Each structure stands twice: as structure tokens, then as C-alpha cells.
């Protein structure tokens, strides 16, 4: 069966749908349950503070956190970490920005397939996607062998062009040819997806993404003005769909 052309929306989690980093919440849960080596976990906290203090750039900090996260899981059973991820999400999901669930629902009503692409661990991102009714999701994947973590990484979506690659991979797996009509994110890691999208929203962006957004004409919003902006963008998408529908029926 040939691939189907499909409109997609690419959504970011940390700092966009969620005010914080879901992955750090998961690491805390794992440490509390004895499912992560405390040494690398403590290193993750130190790396995060160095990034916040401006000592590390985003790529360096993200790569270092990924390496320590994978190392902290070495030897742990995957099913136990997945259970901890479910418990973690139950504990933090109430902190989602108020617009998050409505945005996903509105996109679905337009027939637009959402993809949640995040730098946080895949275990918790898959749980979040299921809760939000997002059909496709990808987070950072720690390598496993025979149901146990090896201490190595298999996938890093939030580094370099990782998000664009994740979108392409998810689309291939679903038999889709994606046309990105909407994207929202808050960091330079989202720029690759923004460049492919019809409507791109930099939500409370970091300094690098702000500069790129201003140079490329991408929308910039904070949590106060975003609901109004989303109403405008979704109305535009709806109008474009109606025009396309009329054109297909004028023969």
C-alpha cells in the first residue's frame, strides 16, 4: 500500500506543553525507587545547574545528561522503569499548561496527526502521549538487551537534527508522507522542525531560538498570549482545509 499524504503537527513537551522537564521528574522517581545509580543521577543535577548558570550550551548539556541517564539505568529491568514512568506521569501530569490538552484535541478535530517529539526519556513520553491521545511519540531511547538496560543510548531526539529525523522515522513506520502544518517548541532543538512547518510557534523560546524566530518570521508567544494566537492559527488551518476541499470538488 503506497504511503498516504498526511498533515502532521509536531509538539514539544519540556517547557512547551509542560512547565519544566519531565525527564528530571522521572530521574527523581527512579532514584527514589532504587532503579537508578545515584552517582550519574547526581551528575545530571549538576549538569542541569551548569546549563542554567550559562556554563554549558544546550547541546553540550543535553548530550551530557543523556549519557548520564543511560549510565544510571545500566542493569535495570525495563519493565520496572516503565512502571516508574507511569507513576511519575500520574504525579506530574496535573502540571501541564492549561492549553496543552485543548491544543491536541483541536488538532485532532481538524484531522491533523500530532507527533510528540521530546528530549525526555521515551518511557515517560510514551505514557504522556497515551494520556494526551497523541498517536505518535518519540523520546530519548536508552538501549536494552534481553529486557535490561545496557547503559548506552539508542536515540537522542533533542540533539542536532534529531527531531526532524524522529518525525521522518515515525512517519515511515506509519506509512505516511508527512506535511508539517504546525509546530511548537521552546528551544534551538526545535528549529529543524520549524523550518519544515507551515505555522511555527516559538513558545517562551531560549535566546538562540528567539533570534532564529525573528529572522525567519516564526511566531513568538508566551503563556499569556498563546491561547489567542492558537485560535488564530487553528482558524487559518481550518480555512486552508476548506479551500482545499472546495478545489477538489470543482471539477
**Residues 19-44: b if buried by 16+ CB within 10 A, e if exposed:** eebbbbbbbbbbbeeebbbeebbebb
pLDDT, one tens digit per residue, over 158-181 is 887 899 999 999 999 999 999 999
% of residues, the chain, pLDDT over 90: 81
Q: Quick one: cell of 173?
A: 513506520
DSSP string, 149-190: EEEEEEE-TTSTTHHHHHHHHHHHHHTEEEEEEEEEESSGGG
Query: Is residue 115 predicted with pLDDT exceeding 80?
Result: yes
Q: How much is the pTM?
A: 0.93
C-alpha count within 13 angstroms, C-beta hemisphere, residue 11:
29
Question: What percent of the chain is modeled with pLDDT above 70?
Answer: 96
- The order of strands in the sheet holding 4-11 is 148-155, 136-145, 113-121, 4-11, 176-185, 199-203, 219-221
First to last CA, the chain: 27
Nearest to residue 153, comparing CAs of 163, 166, 143, 164?
Answer: 143
Q: Is residue 73 within a helix (H) or strand (E), and if so which, with residue range?
A: none
Amino acid at each position: 500500500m503506497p504511503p498516504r499524504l498526511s498533515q502532521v503537527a509536531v509538539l514539544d513537551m519540556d517547557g512547551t506543553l509542560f512547565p519544566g522537564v519531565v525527564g528530571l521528574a522521572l530521574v527523581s522517581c527512579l532514584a527514589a525507587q532504587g532503579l537508578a545509580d545515584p552517582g550519574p543521577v547526581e551528575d545530571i543535577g549538576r549538569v542541569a545547574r551548569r546549563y542554567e548558570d550559562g556554563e554549558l550550551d544546550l547541546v553540550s548539556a543535553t548530550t551530557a545528561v543523556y549519557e548520564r541517564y543511560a549510565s544510571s539505568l545500566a542493569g535495570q529491568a525495563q519493565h520496572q522503569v516503565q512502571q516508574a514512568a507511569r507513576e511519575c506521569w500520574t504525579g506530574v501530569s496535573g502540571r501541564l499548561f492549561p492549553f496543552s490538552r485543548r491544543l491536541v484535541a483541536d488538532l485532532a478535530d481538524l484531522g491533523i496527526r500530532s507527533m510528540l517529539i521530546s528530549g525526555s526519556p521515551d518511557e515517560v513520553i510514551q505514557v504522556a502521549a497515551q494520556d494526551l491521545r497523541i498517536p505518535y511519540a518519540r523520546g530519548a531511547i536508552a538501549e536494552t538487551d534481553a529486557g535490561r538496560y545496557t547503559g548506552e543510548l539508542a536515540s537522542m531526539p533533542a540533539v542536532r537534527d534529531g527531531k526532524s529525523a524522529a518525525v521522518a522515522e515515525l512517519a515511515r513506520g506509519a506509512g505516511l508522507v508527512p506535511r508539517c502544518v504546525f509546530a511548537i517548541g521552546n528551544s534551538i532543538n526545535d528549529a529543524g522542525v520549524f523550518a519544515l512547518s507551515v505555522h511555527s510557534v516559538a513558545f517562551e523560546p531560549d535566546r538562540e531560538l528567539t533570534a532564529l524566530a525573528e529572522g525567519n518570521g516564526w511566531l513568538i508567544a508566551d503563556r499569556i498570549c498563546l491561547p489567542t494566537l492558537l485560535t488564530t492559527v487553528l482558524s487559518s488551518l481550518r480555512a486552508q482545509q476548506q479551500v482545499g476541499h472546495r478545489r477538489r470538488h470543482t471539477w
